[in-house]
Amino acid sequence: MTDGYDCYQNAMAERINGILKTEFLLHRPKDLADAVKMVDESVQIYNRERPHLSLKYKTPDAVHRAF
């Protein structure tokens, strides 16, 4: 662990945050409940509909169901 904040310490979380901000959260939520709903919908899309290069353009849900 390094002193201070370094985005490389938590690269996976930083990547997910970036995807949420650039691909899913396209407008400012009205309130906390709206933000929670937007993030929940984004996670569902990310896992069920969005193909991932690292999964050979399959969705995480499809890969999980294949096991």
Q: What is the residue-wise DSSP string for 19-51?
A: HIIIII--S--SSHHHHHHHHHHHHHHHHHT--
With CA atoms as reference, report the closest residue to 25 among 12, 40, 42, 13.
Answer: 42
Give the type of residue at 43. Answer: V
Total domain count, the chain: 1
**pTM of whole model > 0.75?**
no
Handedness of CA 11, 16, 17, 23 (dihedral sign): positive
Question: Domain residues for 23?
Answer: 7-66
pLDDT of 54 over the 90 cut:
yes
The span from the CA of 27 to the CA of 47, in Å, is 21
**Is residue 2 very low, low, confident or very high in pLDDT (cuts 50, 70, 90)?**
low
Instruction: Express each pLDDT in 14-44 by its tens digit.
Output: 988 898 889 888 899 999 999 999 999 999 9
**Does any domain span residue 2?**
no
**Does any domain span residue 51?**
yes
**Does any domain span residue 1?**
no
